[in-house]
Amino acid sequence: MSKDLKMIQRIQSVFLLLVAISMVTSTLFPIWLQVNPDQTQSMEMTAWYTTITDTVKESVISQSNNSYIGILALITAAMAIYSLLQYKNRKKQLLVNMINALLMGLTLGLAVYTSFQSNESFNPTVGGAFLIGFYSIVFGLIMNLIANRFIRKDEMLIRSVDRIR
């Protein structure tokens, strides 16, 4: 059997691929949305910008930079792909995944913090709604944790087989 085919057969490879896909998805879709009570303005936060839009005139009122969220999300996606390619070295894979989990947690924290800061300046009386970009970060974090579990399970299986020999 080909070594590349072996990598695909491992379930943690699927989970790591899902981590990468979900983190890229978080950069493509909105993370948070808030509409003021009279519905004349809306604030949308993506991984790259927070934009306040006049919904009546359909024009952008202001836009602020959030590129740190997008950059972190792309770094975590790249690290997930790198970890996926390290299938021969489970210890290295675990280390990369643990660092990646920290970075994803930081990305999630920054997204929540930025949304609350934006909400304070826009309309503090009403909370906004988290959208698919936010939930894709959460999904990626969960998939990373599940991948780590299966990598540890493989490592314990290899160690038990070595003890039997």
Q: Give the structural domain span for 7.
A: 3-30+67-121+133-157
Is residue 144 a part of any domain in this protein? yes
The pLDDT tens digits of the residues spanning 64-121 come to: 999 999 999 999 999 999 999 988 888 899 999 999 999 999 999 999 999 999 888 8
pLDDT of residue 9: 58
Is residue 46 a part of any domain in this protein? no
pLDDT of residue 7: 54
DSSP notation for 73-137: HHHHHHHHHHHHHTTT-HHHHHHHHHHHHHHHHHHHHHHHHHHHHHHHHH-TTS--EE-HHHHHH
Say if residue 18's pLDDT is above 80: yes
Is residue 36 a part of any domain in this protein? no
Is residue 116 a part of any domain in this protein? yes
Confidence of residue 154 (pLDDT cuts 50, 70, 90): confident
Is residue 141 a part of any domain in this protein? yes
Is residue 148 a part of any domain in this protein? yes
Is residue 145 a part of any domain in this protein? yes
pLDDT of residue 1: 45
Is residue 75 a part of any domain in this protein? yes
Determine the average pLDDT of the residues in 138-150. Answer: 95
Say if residue 5's pLDDT is above 50: no
The pLDDT tens digits of the residues spanning 25-52 come to: 999 999 999 988 788 889 999 999 999 9
The pLDDT tens digits of the residues spanning 55-73 come to: 888 888 889 999 999 999 9
**20: CB partners within 8 A, 6+ apart:** 77, 78, 80, 81, 84
Say if residue 3's pLDDT is above 60: no
Euclidean distance between CA atoms 66 and 50, whole angstroms: 7
| Overall domain count for the chain | 1
Could you tell me the pTM of the whole model?
A: 0.87
